Each structure stands twice: as C-alpha cells, then as structure tokens.
C-alpha cells in the first residue's frame, strides 16, 4: 500500500469530517443502539481520524482496533487520540479513553492486509470500518474482503471512497483532460492489484451485495473553497504530479493548468468538488 504522511492526513481531516454523509451515519448509529459494548476494526486507520469522526455516533462502550501497515502512523494515532480525549490512560500498548461520556478502548495493530486479513477479523468484530481506502484497492481484493467480513458476521461502514466526480470552478480548457488522466493514474497498482480508482464505490457495493448483504450508499463530496486554500493547493499538486506520470497531458499545458488553479485557489468563488461515496452494509 502506498503510504500517506501524518501531515497530509491532518490537513484533510476537517474536510473529511464535515463531508461525511449524515443520513448514513445516523443509520449506522441506529444499527447498534442496543449493543452494550461495540467491537470495531478500523482498516487503514492512519492517525485515527475515522475513530474521532465515528465514535460520537456510537454507544457508550466501544472497543476499537486500529489497523495500519505503517507503525509511525499508529504512533501518531496514539498521540492524536490522547489529545482528543477528555481523559486518556495508556494500558500496555493500548489506550483507554473517555470522550463525551463514552468509554473507548483502543488497541493498535501493524498488519499487512494482503497477508493477514483473516487474522484481523478472527475475533468477530461487530463492525468493520475504513475511510478513504477502497479506491486504492483492486476489485478482486474487494470480493475477497467482502467474503471475509461476511464470514466474521460483522457489519461494514466505509466513508469517503473516491468516485471520480470532479469539478473545478472557474473552468479551464484542460480540466477534462486532467481529470481523465488522473482517473487513469488512480487505477495503478497500490499494493493490492490494479486499483479500482473511480469505480471503487460501485464495485465495493456490488461485492457486499454478492456476499448477501443489504447495502446503502450516500454522497459525501469534498466541496472545497477559498477557506480550504492549504488543502486545495496540496491536492492540486498531488493531482498534477499524478497526471504528469501518465504522460497523457502535455507538460507545458499541465504546468499552465496548475498555475491557473493555484492562482484561483485563494479567490472568492473558487471551488473544487471531489466526489466521494459512503457505504453501509449489513446482513438483512
């Protein structure tokens, strides 16, 4: 899996949290309203952003296992969660947190999901969750993953899966070519086979339907404007680098497009919309 820096994850966290689909989050809460202690596995957890956004929708007693390939990100997660909580105590390699009256136990697990997916789910969690992960994953791995979740009996909730819907305001003549080239780059192998990229949300929903789960989806687009300038500039740089690697947009044209976009970013009325889909899947 291609790594992400803690600074990038921190930069995008505010946009991630506000963009989640509220209806689906409420549906998730309703599924577990009577569960005394909820056991949750968070895949590709990074610095714990998904826990911070999801835990307030769940019950008073939660046990989270944060799973990531990068031990440095899990170390950052422990620090960030300690600062986020009202109370925090280290117990062994884990944490016991109190936040808004909720008791939240957290354990950290460094894992290669290609090799150890079944082991991650062996304790039969109530919920498997992730954020901004599955557009990096192949459709064949998704099918395997859905079957593994079904075998564990867990429900599934993922947010912010990129779905290929991009919009830039003001427009530029190269927008369409850049978006198409970026979509092509998104399908490169990120460690789990050829990535689904913009098709990830629909492929993942189909994988869970094929595993006999009921599936609900909801839009969760990033809508970024001049107030999000730092995030937009970082995002534009990442898009341009990815597009440049494809060779599908002439270098001089791409350079001019990036300069135009960066100049527009701090101006009132500028907007960047990146489409995402949230998914909730559970046994009927």
Torsion, CA 217, CA 240, CA 261, CA 230, rounded to 10: 70
- In the structure encoding, which two tokens stand for residue 8, read together? 């990038």
3-state secondary structure of 138: coil
The pLDDT value recorded for residue 3 is: 61
Looking at residue 165, what DSSP letter applies? E
Q: Measured in whole angstroms, how far is the alpha carbon of residue 117 from the centre of its chain? A: 18
The pLDDT value recorded for residue 1 is: 45
Q: How far apart, in Å, are the Cα atoms of 202 and each of 139, 206, 218, 223, 265? A: 10, 6, 12, 21, 31
Q: Would you write out the chain's pLDDT as a tens digit for each of its 284 residues?
A: 446 899 999 999 999 999 999 999 999 999 999 999 999 999 999 999 999 999 999 999 999 999 999 999 999 999 999 999 999 999 999 999 999 999 999 999 999 998 899 999 998 999 999 999 999 999 999 999 999 999 999 999 999 999 988 999 999 999 999 999 999 999 999 889 999 999 999 999 999 999 999 999 999 999 999 999 999 999 999 999 999 999 999 999 999 999 999 999 999 999 999 999 999 999 98
Q: Which residues contact 172 (CB under 8 A, 6 or more apart)?
A: 257, 260, 261
Which pTM does this prediction carry? 0.95
Termini Cα distance of the chain: 32
Q: The domain 6-166+192-226+273-282 belongs to what CATH superfamily? A: Vaccinia Virus protein VP39 (3.40.50.150)
Burial class (CB in 10 A: 0-12, 13-18, 19+), 220: buried
The pLDDT value recorded for residue 230 is: 96
Among residues 106, 91, 31, the alpha carbon closest in space to that of 61 is found at 106
Among residues 109, 78, 83, the alpha carbon closest in space to that of 95 is found at 78
CB half-sphere exposure, 2, CA atoms < 13 A: 14
DSSP run (H or E) holding 110: strand 102-110
Distance CA 168, CA 264 (A): 10
β-bridge partners, 58: none
Among residues 105, 103, 257, the alpha carbon closest in space to that of 175 is found at 257
The pLDDT value recorded for residue 211 is: 97
The pLDDT value recorded for residue 2 is: 45
**Phi first, then psi: what are they for 83, rounded to 5°?**
-70, -35
CA torsion through residues 184, 189, 194, 197, sign:
negative
DSSP letters for 263-277: HHTTSTT-EEEEEEE
């Amino acid at each position: 899996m291609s790594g992400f820096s803690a600074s990038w994850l921190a930069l995008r966290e505010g946009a991630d949290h506000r963009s989640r689909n509220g209806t689906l989050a409420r549906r998730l809460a309703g599924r577990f309203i009577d569960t005394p202690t909820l056991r949750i596995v968070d895949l590709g957890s990074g610095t714990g952003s998904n826990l911070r956004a999801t835990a307030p929708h769940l019950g008073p007693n939660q046990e989270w296992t944060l799973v990531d390939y990068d031990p440095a990100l899990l170390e950052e997660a422990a620090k960030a969660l300690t600062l986020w909580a009202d109370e925090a105590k280290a117990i062994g390699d884990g944490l016991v947190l109190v936040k808004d009256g909720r008791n939240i136990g957290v354990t950290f697990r460094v894992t290669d999901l290609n090799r150890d997916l079944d082991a991650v789910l062996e304790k039969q969690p109530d919920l498997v969750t992730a954020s901004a992960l599955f557009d990096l994953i192949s459709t064949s791995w998704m099918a395997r993953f859905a079957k593994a979740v079904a075998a564990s009996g867990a429900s599934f909730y993922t947010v912010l899966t990129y779905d290929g819907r991009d919009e830039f305001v003001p427009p530029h003549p190269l927008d369409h070519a850049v978006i198409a080239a970026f979509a092509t780059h998104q399908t490169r192998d990120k460690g789990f086979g050829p990535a689904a990229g913009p098709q990830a949300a629909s492929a993942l929903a189909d994988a869970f339907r094929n595993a006999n789960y009921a599936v609900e989806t909801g839009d969760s687009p990033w809508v970024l404007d001049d107030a999000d300038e730092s995030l937009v500039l970082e995002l534009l740089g990442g898009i341009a680098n990815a597009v440049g690697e494809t060779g599908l947009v002439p270098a001089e044209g791409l350079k001019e497009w990036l300069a135009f976009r960066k100049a527009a970013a701090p101006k009132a009325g500028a907007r960047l919309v990146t489409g995402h889909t949230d998914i909730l899947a559970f046994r009927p």
